[in-house]
Structure formats: structure tokens, C-alpha cells
Amino acid sequence: MRASLSRPPSNKPLLTGWGGTRGAGGGGPGLALGAAVRWLTERAPHRESAPKRRGKAPLPTPPPPLLAKVLDTTGRRPPRQIRLQCSRFCFAPSQVPMEEMEEELKCPVCGSFYREPIILPCSHNICQACARNILVQTPESESPQSRRASGSGVSDYDYLDLDKMSLYSEADSGYGSYGGFASAPTTPCQKSPNGVRVFPPAMPPPATHLSPALAPVPRNSCITCPQCHRSLILDDRGLRGFPKNRVLEGVIDRYQQSKAAALKCQLCEKAPKEATVMCEQCDVFYCDPCRLRCHPPRGPLAKHRLVPPAQGRVSRRLSPRKVSTCTDHELENHSMYCVQCKMPVCYQCLEEGKHSSHEVKALGAMWKLHKSQLSQALNGLSDRAKEAKEFLVQLRNMVQQIQENSVEFEACLVAQCDALIDALNRRKAQLLARVNKEHEHKLKVVRDQISHCTVKLRQTTGLMEYCLEVIKENDPSGFLQISDALIRRVHLTEDQWGKGTLTPRMTTDFDLSLDNSPLLQSIHQLDFVQMKTSSPVPATPILQLEECCTHNNSATLSWKQPPLSTVPADGYILELDDGNGGQFREVYVGKETMCTVDGLHFNSTYNARIKAFNKTGVSQYSKTLVLQTSEVAWFAFDPGSAHSDIIFSNDNLTVTCSSYDDRVVLGKTGFSKGVHYWELTVDRYDNHPDPAFGVARIDVMKDVMLGKDDKAWAITEGGITKGATIGILLDLNRKTLTFFINDEQQGPIAFENVEGLFFPAVSLNRNVQVTLHTGLPVPDCYSSRASIA
């Protein structure tokens, strides 16, 4: 449909409802709507949280909702469907915070307010002078005319950075071309004051006295938008082919006026004084002296209306602005709108046939339609701004709640850690008490021995001095009368200083060893338990019975995850009871799926179970597995704990020594529960050595005879010869130790109150070799006496 070519009347449609009137070319309401929405979006949340003012009047409330009415030239009300529903965004001109849109009013090249802004095809704005500064001249061979003349297609040069610029396709850019989009030569870029890439000119602009709009533009010039980086080759019109943004100019003028300080007199010659009135007809601000001198209230000037400066500023801000003219016909005003080109046109453009095949509509109708569309769009944006405001309030509440929860949680954590520290300090005090008790016991034993030896040494010294004095006597008969008795006393005293008398009854080492590894492991594993499970716990592990077994007092267990399990496990926890049906305790925590537990009791039944864990939690326990340890102990001598002079053979069952001094060797297996019996046969026995057989602690002294310290119990004499068999019976149920030689018990019970962990032990030198026999039953004679007892 073609629009009528009759010229419209000179009257311009007006928009009311914004505290005044505005010409159609000013574009005030649309920009005021944008400022209002920006104010709602950026300032409303801050105003919500700002502290209340004290001692001042309350903040002014927004004016009542207004309805912007679009009036035609005859003053009639337009159809209802095109009325602008602006009640949600209306503010009085003095209340619109226009300073919030300052960045919208600055050129991306120079960083200052737009000066004579032009609209690029990409809808971005740029100062006309800045547009001239960033022009780039393309090679002659790359111009559209030269390509058409040569008949060649797009050269490789045209595709430089094509993926970054999306250049000359109208379907890609979304708007029509002005002379055609084409790729621009790649040039170095710099940052503008607004932080936008700016492409500098290839050469300095030629010196000219013409205005930027009239100065000639080099042929084949290309301009690149500093914001979206789309490039455009200018046609013969140059920069005059771009429309001027009169609306943006008006907004900048109003903004700069609103930012100005106190209004000054415009007629003061030197230092302008503050204006007191403004003449609406003269459009001049006066101070009192200048008003009396230059604008007397008489004659024709008496009919002029003088208003206060603030009101005059508003009236000036709302005064009609210059109507924009056509870029091709500067003397013609825009009167129609081309829908395809999306631009206002004049009647002369239509008469020349430039838009003959395009849909053209009346400028006033399209103005009303686009304002209605903008209003509807602002409705949705206002809803988003309201939601953003509520969301910011929610986030601020979350910040406060997080801080409160953090303080509460930190206090709880400190209390829990302090409780652990208190418990550790109490346990520390108990352990220190035990250490002090052991310390006092050792000192008492050593001091008693010192006292005993001191008395005995005093007696011995007195006897020696007495004997020396007797020897000095020259009376043979008198000497012989007492010599026999003195000789017996000397031998008796010497025997009292025999073996063991000059050996310390107590070692300087403490028999206390603190095992803090489980506690340290628990401390390292101390972590927060997730209150909300984000993933399921792992499946229950399955014990692999075919790989589980026991050997002596050790048990080996193996497990795996179910075949269809999809939840990974971070580790496993293996638990065993105490062998008497007591409570379970953790014996292994880790990622492995096989574990061997040593140090179990012989002839005992244990229950074992396993569970898996991950960050979410722990699984259910597996089925309980019953383990039975060996009834009798099978073991050999332990090379790892033996003295270096010990010589092993026969799979560590036979030992001897390379030294003339006694050396100690232990068995591999320790006993803390049950009845155990083993034998040793003497394979070599030369030069009457003094071997010892018995049991000892793990930390027994290895370089002295067995039994010389308080950590060993042994037999050293009693018919031991080559080929003899020494049997050792350790009954930890009755806490006794008994010895047998050649199947005959050596007296009654040798030691009683034997309690703790003991290892089979032997001390020997190079003149002795013995062989160990294990896995033997308890002698019948002992079993019968034990049953009777």
C-alpha cells in the first residue's frame, strides 16, 4: 500500500502528560521512559536498603500515575488502542534521575558527550567528527566498483577477519546496507576512553576549513563501528548519508542543563551573577541589575512574562526543538516512514522513486505505533526490574543469614574442638600419672639396691680391713686359731657378690610405649558430615569367601563391590570382635579390598564384617564372617629382631652364634592368651656353655644372657647336655611358666603372675646350637594336673 503524497499541515503532533509539551522531533518521552526504567533497575534496590534520614522532611513520593495522551493536529483524542500506558514509569521532569544514563550519552571513541551524533546502520551512534577520524581508505582495487569492473568475485582480502565482523550480508546483520557492507582492511586498534576498540585512520585527514559534515571524504573510505566492529564502505554522499540523531542531541542538552549549577545571568559582562528571573519571550536569564537596565517593565517589554529561573529552565527544556531534516534533501522535513528501510523519508525521496516498491506509512502514525511498542516493551522490562529488586533484597537477606549462621557454626565448632582438647588433656594427665608412677617405682628399686649394696660393701670393706690387720700379727698360734673362720667368712662374702648381685635390678628405659596412631588417624579423618545427601551411599560390599583364610594367629579377608553397583566407594572399614563375642572394633580403614590382620589369639573364634563409605555416608554392613585361628602355634625364629651375631639355618628353625658372648633370639609369634607349648633340642654343646631358654618381651636386651633384665623369664641350669630336649609351657590362662627337660617337669611351676605379650626366647653363644619344634600338644602330665586343679 502506497501512502498519499499530499503534504501534511505544518503543525506537529504534541505529547502531553509529562509536565509540559514537546515537539515531535525532540523525542523526550521515549528517553524519559528509558531513564525511568534505568532508575528503577539500578537505584530502587539501593533506595530500599538506604538508612532513613533523620531530622529532615521525608523523601518526596512519586507523582500520581499519569496517562500519556497522543493528540493529533486537531486536538482530538486518538483511538484507545494507541494510547500509551505509561503510568508505571512517569516521573516529574525534576524527579527523573537522568544522571544514571550518562554512559549512554557518551561517544565510544572520544569518551565525551556526543557532538552532532549520526546513526550508523547498526543502530549505534558516533560523533560526526569522530566518524571522520576513524575512516579508513580501502585500496582502489578493493572497491565495489573495481570488483564489478573486473568481473572478479570476492578476493581473499575481503575475508580477513570475516568471522569476527559478519560484514556484508543483510540477512546476517539484520538491517539494510548503506552502500553495501564489505570487509575492511585489518588495522591496529586502540582503546577509547570508554574501553571500546577503536580503529585508527590509515592516514591523517586532509587539512580543511570546512565543517566535518561538509569536508570531503576520501574515495572508497570505510568506517568500522567501534562497538560492534561491523564495517561499511561509504558511498558518494560520505558521512552525509547517515541520519543525524536529533533525539539524542535533545537528551544531551537537557542532561547538561540539569547538571549545571546555579543559573547565571546571561548579560553580566565580567563575573556573571546568579539569575533571578527569566523572560519566556526573550529566552534570557537576568539578574536584578541587568533586568532593570536591559529589560525595564515598560513599553513592549511590559507584556513579557518573567518567571523564576528554575521554571524557566523547565520551560526551556520542554520548548520545541528543531525538526530533523532529510539527509538527501536538507531543506525537506521528514514526513513519511519507509517500513522496509526502517527510516524516515521526505516527500521528495518518494517523488524520486527511491522507495517506490517499499511500504510507506505516515510519520505520525508510525511515531504513535513505535511509542506504543516501546511502552509495551518497557512494561516487560519493568517486571524484570521489579523481580531483580526483590532478588537483590533476597540476596542481601541471605548475606545477613550467612553471617549469623557462620558465627553460630564457628561457636559450635570451637566448643566441639575445645571438648576434644579437654578430653585429650585429661587423658594426658592420666598418662603422665602412670609415667610418674613408673618413675617412682624405678627410683625406689634402684635406691633400694644402692642401699643394699652400700651396706654390703661397708661390711665387706670392714672384713677386708680386719683381715689385713690379722695378717700383720706375728703370733702363729693365735693366727691359726681364727684363720679358718676368717677364710670361710671371706669365701662366703665373695659368694654373696656372685652373679646378679652386681647387675642392676631395673633398667633406665621405660616399658611404656604410647600408641597414638589411631588417635592421629581419627584426627586426620575428622571432617564435617554432610547434612544433605547429594548422592547415594555406596552399595554393601560382598566378602569373597574363597579368598578369606586364617594362618596361625593371622586372618586374611578379601571383599568387592557388587557387580551392578554404580556408586563408587571412597574406602572401606573392616571390623573384628575381640574373639570372645565382644564388641566390634575397627582394624582397617582404607581403599584396598584385601587385608591381613596379625596378632590374633590362638584357638579363638572371631567375627568379621565390612562396610563401604563415600562423602555421602556409609553403607550397610556385609554378612558376618566367622574366623577360627589355629589351635596350636607354628612358628620359627625371627631374624628381624635377633642380634646380628645369630646364625640361622633350616628355614630359621635352627640357630647358633658367631660370638663367645651370649646373644638373644626371639620367635616370630607372640602370645597373650591361651596355653602354648614348644620344645628345643640341643644339637651342639661344647665347653660347658650356659644357654638359657624361656620367654621374653619384644624389647628384651639382645646382647646379654636371657634373664639378666626384668623383661625375660628363663631356665639356665639343670641337666642340659648335647641331645637334650627342653620343653617350655606358657599357660597364660593361669599366668604360669613351666619347664621340661627330656619330658620331665623341672620342679614345680617356675614363674607365676606372667601376664602380657610374650615371645619364645633363647640366649646362646658359639658353643651351642639348638633346633626349634612347634605345633606340639600340651604334655599329658600337665593336662591331667591342670584338670584336677
What radius of gyration do the chain's Cα atoms show?
55
pLDDT in tens, 331-369: 888 888 898 888 888 888 888 888 888 888 888 888 889
Axis crossing angle, helix 363-471 with helix 28-49, rounded to the nearest 10: 30
Q: How far apart are CA 273 and CA 309, in angstroms?
A: 13
Of 30-39, 260-269, 543-552, 626-635, minimum mean pLDDT range:
30-39
Q: How far apart are CA 447 and CA 174, in angstroms?
A: 105
CB 217 within 8 A of CB 238: yes
Q: How far apart are CA 175 and CA 122, in angstroms?
A: 7
**What confidence score (pLDDT) does residue 270 get?**
82
**What confidence score (pLDDT) does residue 52 get?**
39
Read off the pLDDT of each residue in 769-776 and give the average, rounded to a whole number: 93
Q: Which residues contact 563 (CB under 8 A, 6 or more apart)?
A: none
Asked if the model's pLDDT at residue 58 lies above 90, the reply is no
Q: Which of 74-83, 218-227, 342-351, 617-626 has maximum average pLDDT?
A: 617-626
Between 184 and 239, name the one with better pLDDT. Answer: 239
Of 185-199, 328-342, 697-711, minimum mean pLDDT range:
185-199
C-alpha cell at 633: 602355634
Task: Supply the pTM of this predicted model.
Answer: 0.35
What are 106-111's contacts with CB under 8 Å, separation 24+?
Answer: 106/194, 107/194, 108/192, 108/194, 108/196, 108/198, 108/226, 108/227, 109/133, 109/134, 109/192, 109/196, 109/198, 109/226, 110/192, 110/193, 111/192, 111/193, 111/194
pLDDT in tens, 147-181: 444 444 433 333 333 333 333 333 333 333 333 33
Read off the pLDDT of each residue in 188-213 and give the average, rounded to a whole number: 46
Nearest one of 604, 565, 571 to 589, comparing CA atoms: 571
**What confidence score (pLDDT) does residue 783 get?**
62
Q: Encode 454-492: b = buried (16+ Cβ within 10 Å), e = exposed.
A: eeeeeebeeeeeeeeeeeeeeeeeeeeeeeeeeeeeeee
Q: How would residue 582 be classed by pLDDT, with cut points 50, 70 and 90? A: confident
Read off the pLDDT of each residue in 2-13 and give the average, rounded to a whole number: 39
User: What are residue 616's phi and psi, to 5 degrees?
Assistant: -80, -40
Cα 435 to chain centroid distance, Å, stands at 45
**What confidence score (pLDDT) does residue 716 get?**
79
Read off the pLDDT of each residue in 128-152 and give the average, rounded to a whole number: 62
Q: How far apart are CA 277 and CA 406, in angstroms?
A: 61
Q: Which amino acid is at 249?
A: E
Read off the pLDDT of each residue in 701-730 and give the average, rounded to a whole number: 87
C-alpha cell at 468: 689385713
**What confidence score (pLDDT) does residue 631 get?**
86
Asked if the model's pLDDT at residue 399 lies above 90, the reply is yes
Q: Which residues contact 335 (CB under 8 A, 6 or more apart)?
A: 7, 8, 344, 345, 346, 347, 362, 363
- Assign residue 786 a region: left if phi > 0, alpha if psi is -120 to 50, beta otherwise? alpha
For strands 306-307 and 343-345, give the pairing: unpaired
pLDDT in tens, 655-686: 999 999 999 999 999 888 888 999 999 999 98
**What confidence score (pLDDT) does residue 717 get?**
67
**What confidence score (pLDDT) does residue 451 get?**
92
Asked if the model's pLDDT at residue 745 lies above 80, the reply is yes
Across the chain, mean pLDDT equals 76
**What confidence score (pLDDT) does residue 507 get?**
87
**What confidence score (pLDDT) does residue 787 get?**
53
For 358, what's the count of Cα atoms within 13 Å in the CB-facing half-sphere?
19
